[in-house]
Every structure is written in structure tokens, then in C-alpha cells.
A and B are shown apart, each in its own frame.
Chain A
């Protein structure tokens, strides 16, 4: 049993925060490794690869973004950033560097556990999805038939343009995770369009009109203002 417990690497220089993370994560059946500096963390991660990393951006020895980049060189383990810097540009920088999620301090344990679950599930799907292609995505009334390239809300089929479809499937592939404007533009339109955020907004508005019951109060296509979009996964 204990061998199967997912390993979480907590990189945080503040002892009280480490303490409560350790307490709550252990009690939720995770194995916790702790590091208080970037160097220590990279060493630990190399010795025993973690299933998930919780990273504080404000480390004493190196920039948190640098830690993300170094980890991403060889590891696909999800990284959740917890930071006292709550500004959108910090979030975007962390996500663009390869982090999977971003939580601003202070945060509740419930919130953190939820994000961990999403990230782990997502990592598992990707790991599995490598060989067996997912054919269908479901959340609430929304159903995307990836094999048949069809989209339904309830029983009603929705007709999407190719770009809208591509946008929706990209979001679906990373459901529950915030995707930055830059990432979506690159994936859907291609690298030359990474700064044309209004393209994304206009197509997103069109997509909402087709999928959402009330586009001004979306149920599936959620906006993280200043950061990007997320497709609800529950």
C-alpha cells in the first residue's frame, strides 16, 4: 500500500507552511518530500522522481521559474505553484514556463487537494493516452466525440467551425487546467499569432454562444481573467 502512495515534492522555504502541507498531505495519503531551497529540490527530484511538485516561487537561492524550467527538462510530473505573488503576469509566467496550476497564498487545504487531484488525474490520462487515444470527453451536458469530430450539448448536436472545434478539443485535452492565451493561440492558430489575444476572445465568445446556456454566466468555458481559459472538468 505504502509503495503506491503518490509522492509529492514540496519546495517551500517557510517552515510553518511546510509543516501544514506535510500534515494535511500525509493525512490524505500522499508521501511528502520536503525541500527548502531550489538546489535541494532539484537534487531530491533527481534521486527519487516525484509524482507531483508543489513549488513556492520565492526561494532563497534561485528563481522559482528557473526551478520549473530545470524540472521540465526531464520531468513531466505536474507542478503546482503556490505563491504570494498574486498578479496575473506572475501566473502567466509560471504557466508558460511549464507549471500546471497556480495557487495564490493564502489558500485553503480543500482547494489545494482539489488541484492536486485534477493534476494527478490529468497526468495519468496523458500517460495512458499515449497509446490508447481517448475517444470521448464528457462534462455535465457537454459531450465531445473526438473520434467522430462531433459535439453535443445534451442531445442537441452543436455545429462548430474548424477553429472552434480545435479550440474546444485543445481545452478538452487539458480539461481542468488553465491554459494561457499564448499557449492556446500557439496550439490553435500557430506561433505567429501568440499575441493576437482578441482572436482568442472573439472565438471564445462564439464558442460560448453555441455551447453555454447563458454565455454571460458560463458553465463550461471559464475565464481566468488576464491569464487564460479553462474548461470545467466537473
Chain B
């Protein structure tokens, strides 16, 4: 079951990758083991071959140190001008990414994949530039030396003694479409080096002298060959897997590596990466935040280690908890981890003996999980627990220590007062006062202050209260015991108080995180409409992070815009908008505190949902430097996820609403169709039947018989015409294509014109028109209101007995014009009253033709379009009244009577 699930997951993953790969450019790396093996030369040769084959190829960037024969290879090729960047007073040549993207060749040559860009460029590293080129569908040729591969970094350092700072993530190397190994025997390379044929930066000359030795080069060569072989091996396996169509991940291993701020951790991380690669297993780097204070430097190191893990392909997580081992094991079980890797710690022996060391505890609790303890490469004195606890702890805060001194002095004063007031009291009471002070100090100002207060308390107690007073000498030796016990208790209290404080801190932080998340999700859950969602989210985040917050959403063309119209100062800035756009398109973090576009003012997080980014969240901290801690970043990403989810949910709800409306419209349309088809066919059948019978046997018919048939045809045609008219009318009204054209009318005119239109129908009835003489002009659409009267009058004619009178009444009431058409028919039954205004509802006609069942529906649509109401009542003395109400609008216009010369007397 699980197996099949995994298989399908893999197939999806593969499909996704393939889909991505379709549009992605292909990366070819010319891979060597040291400078001078001829990577650039080989690359340019390959480029020339491509150019000869008429491929659209451009030299994006080639290091200027090339030798003459290399230089010669660039002749006649299209070269992209390098960007000149001023950096610390000197001009640096850099690869111009934007120009390359704009030029968009089929293939581009970019030398030195591991290069670090000058500050001010979009990305910190060249491999990120290359990544963007590939994203844009451009094929890239590049060069790389083995020492720049991240996971081999430490080995290279061990072998050659040179720490390489410029590295690329292994994933970039692994995902390259082809690797061409450029090899040269080390002896030859050495020879070339000695002849000065290898370019060496002037400042690195001495280092290079140390580097270019036969053993070094041989070792590096082996590394490069082996790395390439590994890759070939993996490719072959992948090919075989694809052939056999079995799942790729033969193992279901998952690794967890414990990360702390110490440099040892970096080694542990690299080892974990190699093991994960070997096992082809996913791996997680975990840091446990115990709530200890960390100095900025330590926090930086931790962040760097977590970033390293991330770059090497790990998933990272920060856990909070007091007990490192407990949290790690709990998390490992929750994530089905099979192997835990931890650095060997140099914890005190007594902790190990008591089973208190982190490693020991993990071993003890791990159950069926394998635990690997990795040797740290640093000096054995390095604090093992520093992995979690922090290396060196927080910096000494002298103000806190001073406060400890002050508190001890206060305690001494208090104890002195006690002695003066109650000379009979034993010394134990003064000791208690000091304990009180120590607890206070430890709880408020930390462990160091607590210990200082403990020592000071013992000294002060000795000095002021133990004979001989004001001397540190002691007559009574039993006081030594008192001092010792006092000191031990004080220190213990300090430790305990500190621990409680830390726990409180940790839980406070956890609580804050939970609270921020909870508050946001609760707000978002209770909000509908994108605009409101965005404004709620911005408000919440601004409050929680003390930042300016902006959320960007794309318009129809995919261009980002501040969703609330750029209320924040930075959101309107074009440069910042460009950063947001980049983040949106690439689905990656960027901005201040990151490697990408670090010059931006704000920190940008994509609002990632399952269907890609729906927008971008930007925060500009009011206090700078708040976003480096990885837990904040994770929290922000979680929050961004929440917002994305809410926006997506809102859009889905909107879509669902639309679908619902459409379905309703569809349902109405189909019921309309079935009614209409019946109503259309009946008169058509009559017309067709009658006319064909006239055609066939017309000669046999006498005059009156013919006439009767012809009259039938005319009547049915009229009925059909009426139905079509009504249908067109209601369709137009309901589709909203009718605009209500309001003008000032005397009601009398509209009543008059409608009576004229129904002259035939009302013939033989007495129609009483009762309009007050002082009825004002009313603003409405005359054509539509005329139709209301026509329909109501026709309705009355249809359902009231022939010859019975009809009354039309109107008056103004409460700012409304109220009109009424009343008949003397049977009135309406209760169940009819609800449905009369429905489409295609037809009552029992008093005689003659049935209507189309649309007249009253049209009336309702018209009256509602005027913002009014229509309803029906039964007259107390028999008959039905249809009443409609239209709100009066504004002041009727005054006629300029000067246009009317008073010529007549």
C-alpha cells in the first residue's frame, strides 16, 4: 500500500521534473580538478564547434586571464559586454545577467560557475545567475573545479590545507545535464604551472605555490574522477530504473542530522549529505532551540550551518524544547527518520556517567532508529553541548552583574537592619535574606549574575555578620561549613532559577509563534474577499513583526501590484516592485538578509500555494536585522503559506459561487427551454396544420369555412408573436442588457399610452383611471413602466370575467409612487400568491387564451430594476390588486416659462 503510494509519488515527481525540464535550458559543466587543466579552453572549443554548426551561441562571460591560445578562440564569436560594477573604489567586470536574458541566445557561455558576484548584483553567486538563465530556457556552458563542490569542500581542505570559500550546492552539479571532465595528468599540469602557463591571481601566489604539489593535485584529480564516476554510475542506474520501470528510491531511509552553531556541525552536515546521497535518502537538518540566549555571532554561525544544510539539499527545521535529545527523538519518530547523525560531543565525563549527555540520551531514547556519532574535526576541548547550548554562551552583560552587586548590598542592608532591630535573632535569618537576593538576581538577571550574587553574599555575610565583624577572617571554624553550604545552595538556586527562566523564555517564544499563527489564521478564516484578506494579513503581520508590510498580487497579465495600492512607502518603489516580481516568478525568497537581491529594502517571501505563487509578501523591518534568525524566516514562510491558502481559498470560493450562479442560470434556461419549446410548437403546429389543409383541400371549402381557418392562422401567429416578444423582453431584462433610461414623466401619459396599446384586449370593459390631479412628474423608464401597465392590464383581462371592470389607481406615499391595477376576478388562492411572479407560472384563465406566463415576471424585473417592489393583494370585496411601488427621485424639473411668451389672454 505504502509502497504503491510512494511509487505514484515518484512518478508524479518524475513527471513534474520532466515538465519542468522541457522548458528549462540544459547545463553543461566543464569539470576539472584544478586551475590550468584547460577547462575554459575546452569550453571555448565546444562553443566554436556550436557556432560553426550555426547555433545561436554567445560568450556571456569569459575570465579575462585566458592565455593567448584561449583568447584566440574567442575571436569572431559574439561576446556579451561585461557589466562594469564599481566596488570599493575599483571597477569590477561582472557577467551581465539582464543583458543575457534580453539577448536570449540558444546557448550562452559563462565561465567560473563558483564565482561570487560583486555586491549590488542581483544574486550573490554566479550559479544563481546560471540557474535563472536555465529557468529562462537558455542552455549554458560553464566551468567548475572540484574544490568548489560544496560536499567535497572539507575533504579538499583536509587534502590541500586550503579552505575554499566559493562553493556551489551539490544539487547544481547533480542536476547538470552533462558533465565533461577535462583532465590532464598532474605532472603535466605541474610543468605548465612552473612555466607560468597557469593563471594565478597575484594575491594568491604564495598559497598556490603550496597548493600545486604532486600529492595535492593527485588527490584532487582522484576526487574529480570519482565524483564524475559517481555521477555516471547514478545515471546508469537511473537509466536502468527507467527501463525496468521500478521505483527509483530503493531504500526508504530518511536521515536526520543535528545542527548547532559550532564549526563541528558543518562537518557533520557534509558527512550527512554524503551518506544521504549514498543511500539516496532525503535528509533533515534539525536545530533545537532550548531558549538559551545566543550572541549574534553564535546565531550567525547557526544560521550559516542551517543554510549550508539547505544548500546541500536538506530540509531544515527548528524545534523548541528544553531537552535536546527528547525533541530530536520525538521529531525523528514523527518524521519516520531511520538514521540520526550527531556530532561527537565533548561533554563532561560526569554528564556521560549520569546519562545526561545529549548523545547518551539520544542513544538511550532512539529505539529502532540508528544513531551515528560523527567525530568533530575541531579541538577536543570544543564544547560538545555547544552544538545546542551555544558556543561560549551569551556575552557578559556588565550591567546585569552590577545589578547583582546592588541587590547584594541591599540584602546586606536589610540583614543589618534586622540585626539592629532584633539582636537576638540567629544568623540563619540573615542567610535567608541573602538567599532571597540570590533567587531574585538569578531569576531576573541570569546565571552569571546569580553566581556572582552567591559569592558576594557569602563574602558579605562573612564580612558584616560573622565575628570578627568587618574582617574576612573567621574565629569559629564551623562558619566554614555555613559558607560552603550557603555557596552551594546559592549556586544551585541560581542554576534552577536560570533554568526556569529559560524555559519560560522558550515557551514565551513558542507561544508568540503560535499566537501569531493562530491570530492570523483566525482572522483569515473569518474574512472573505481578496481585498479584505490582504488588508487583515498586512495589519496582523505589521503588528506582529513591527514592520511595514505589503502584499503584492498579480494582475491579469501577471504583473505584480501592491494589492492595497501601495500604502507602504517601499511598495510603490519600482525597484522594490521588480524584486517582488522576481520572487513571484521564481517562487524563492529574496531581498534584505538573503543571497538574492540583498540590496532591496524589504524581505520578500512568495505566497506559495500548491499551484505556484499566488503573490508576494514583503516586510520591511522598522528595526533592521530582524530577519536573519532562521526561525523567523520559517515562521514567515509558514505565515505566507497561510495567506496564500486563504487567498486561494477565497478565489476557489469565488469560482464556486460563479459556478453555482451559472448552474442556476443553466437550470432556469433549461426549464425555460422546455416551456418555450412547448409554447412555440403549439401555435406553429396550428399554423402549419391549418395552412396546409387550406392548400390541400382549400377549394372544397366554402367561404365562411375558409375564413375561419384563415382567422385561426392569424390568431395563432399573433399569439406566437406575443410569446416571442415577451421572451425577448425577459431575456434582455435578465441578462442586464437593458439599461434603465430614466426620464421625467407625467404618469398620465404612460397610463394613456398603455391603454392605447391594449385597446383590443380591454374592449368591452370599463377601465376606470383614478389619478390625483396633483401627481408630480416621476422619474422612470417610460417604455418599461408602460410595459408593466400593459402586462398588468392584459393579466387582468385574462383572469377576470369578460366585461368586468378594471381600475387603475395611483398615489404618492412616503416618497414612493404607488400604482395599482385592480380587477374584479376570483382573486388569488394562497398557494398562487407566492408563485404568480415566477416565470412560466400560469393561473387558471377565466376563458380564452392562456398567456405565456411571463407577463408578471417581466413586471417584477422592471420594478426591481427601478429599485421598487411589486406585490399582489386580494380585494376585500372580491378581485385581485397588483400593486407596484417606485421610489421618487430628486426634484421634478422646473420649466422655464420665459420660453412661453404670454401672448394669449
Residues of A within 8 A of B (CB): 86, 88, 106, 108, 159-163, 189, 197-199, 201-202, 204-205, 208, 214-218, 222-226
Contacts and interface: CB of A to CB of B under 8 A. Distances in A.
Most central of B728, B783, B786, B893 by chain A CB within 10 Å: B783
A201 B744 contact: yes
Interface string B733-752: 00000000001111011111
Given A108-B714, A202-B777, A222-B756, A197 B904 contact: no
Given A88-B783, A160-B904, A217-B756, 13 more contacts: A106-B721, A162-B901, A163-B899, A198-B893, A201-B744, A201-B749, A204-B749, A208-B748, A214-B769, A216-B748, A216-B752, A223-B749, A225-B750
25 contacts: A86-B728, A106-B717, A162-B900, A162-B903, A162-B904, A197-B744, A198-B743, A198-B744, A198-B745, A201-B745, A205-B749, A208-B748, A214-B769, A215-B752, A216-B748, A216-B751, A217-B755, A217-B756, A217-B769, A222-B756, A225-B750, A225-B754, A225-B786, A226-B782, A226-B783
A160 B749 CA distance: 19
Nearest to A110: B714
A218 B900 contact: no
A88 B714 CA distance: 25
Given A225-B750, A226-B782, A226-B783, A202 B904 contact: no
A23 to B, nearest CB: 14
B725 interface: yes
B782 A225 contact: yes
Contacts of B769: 214, 216-217
Given A159-B904, A199-B895, A218 B756 contact: yes
Most central of A205, A214, A222 by chain B CB within 10 Å: A205
Contacts of A197: 743-744
A201 B903 CA distance: 21
Given A160-B904, A162-B904, A216-B771, A223 B752 contact: yes
B594 interface: no
B753 interface: yes
Given A197-B743, A198-B777, A201-B746, A218 B901 contact: no
A225 B746 contact: no
B746 A86 contact: no
A124 to B, nearest CB: 27
Contacts of B752: 208, 215-218, 223
Q: Which 10 A-B residue pairings sit nearest by Cβ, starting from the closest?
A: A223-B753, A226-B783, A198-B744, A216-B769, A225-B786, A205-B746, A225-B753, A162-B903, A216-B748, A216-B752
Contact of A202 (B746, B751, B782): B746
Contacts of A223: 749-750, 752-753, 756
B727 to A, nearest CB: 12
A214 B756 CA distance: 13
A215 B748 contact: yes
Interface string B753-780: 1111000000000010101000001000
Contacts of B895: 198-199, 202
A198 B890 CA distance: 14
B533 to A, nearest CB: 43
Interface residues on B, range: 20 to 34
Contacts of A216: 748, 751-752, 755, 769, 771
Nearest to B770: A216
Contacts of B744: 197-198, 201
B894 to A, nearest CB: 10
A112 to B, nearest CB: 14
A175 B755 CA distance: 21
B899 A189 contact: yes
A198 B751 CA distance: 16
Contact of B900 (A161, A198, A224): A161
Most central of B752, B755, B769, B895 by chain A CB within 10 Å: B752
A198 B902 CA distance: 20
A197 B741 CA distance: 12
Nearest to B732: A87
Nearest to A215: B748
Nearest to B741: A226
Nearest to A222: B756
Contacts of A106: 717, 721
Interface in B879-905: 893, 895, 899-904
Contacts of B750: 223, 225
A145 B533 CA distance: 75
Interface in B796-815: none
B893 to A, nearest CB: 6
A22 B714 CA distance: 19
A179 to B, nearest CB: 15
Nearest to A88: B783
A225 B783 contact: yes
B64 to A, nearest CB: 71
Contacts of A217: 752, 755-756, 767, 769
A184 B579 CA distance: 64
A197 B782 CA distance: 12
Nearest to A199: B895
Nearest to B903: A162
Contacts of B753: 222-225
B900 A163 contact: yes
A161 B905 CA distance: 9
Most central of A88, A106, A108, A198 by chain B CB within 10 Å: A198
Contacts of B771: 216
Nearest to B728: A86
Contacts of A205: 746, 748-749
Nearest to A165: B904
Contacts of B904: 159-162
Contacts of B786: 225-226
A205 B725 CA distance: 30
Most central of A197, A199, A223, A225 by chain B CB within 10 Å: A225
A117 B748 CA distance: 31
Most central of B714, B750, B899 by chain A CB within 10 Å: B899
A175 B461 CA distance: 126
A86 B786 CA distance: 15
Contacts of A214: 769
A199 B752 CA distance: 18
A208 B749 CA distance: 9
A20 to B, nearest CB: 12
Contacts of A215: 748, 752
A13 to B, nearest CB: 20
A159 B902 CA distance: 12
Nearest to A162: B903
A224 B895 CA distance: 23
A165 to B, nearest CB: 8
A204 B753 CA distance: 13
A2 B901 CA distance: 53
Contacts of B782: 225-226
B31 to A, nearest CB: 73
Nearest to B720: A106
Contacts of A198: 743-745, 777, 893, 895
B757 to A, nearest CB: 8
B751 A161 contact: no
Contacts of B767: 217
A21 to B, nearest CB: 16
Contacts of A202: 746, 777, 895
A189 B898 CA distance: 12
Nearest to A212: B752
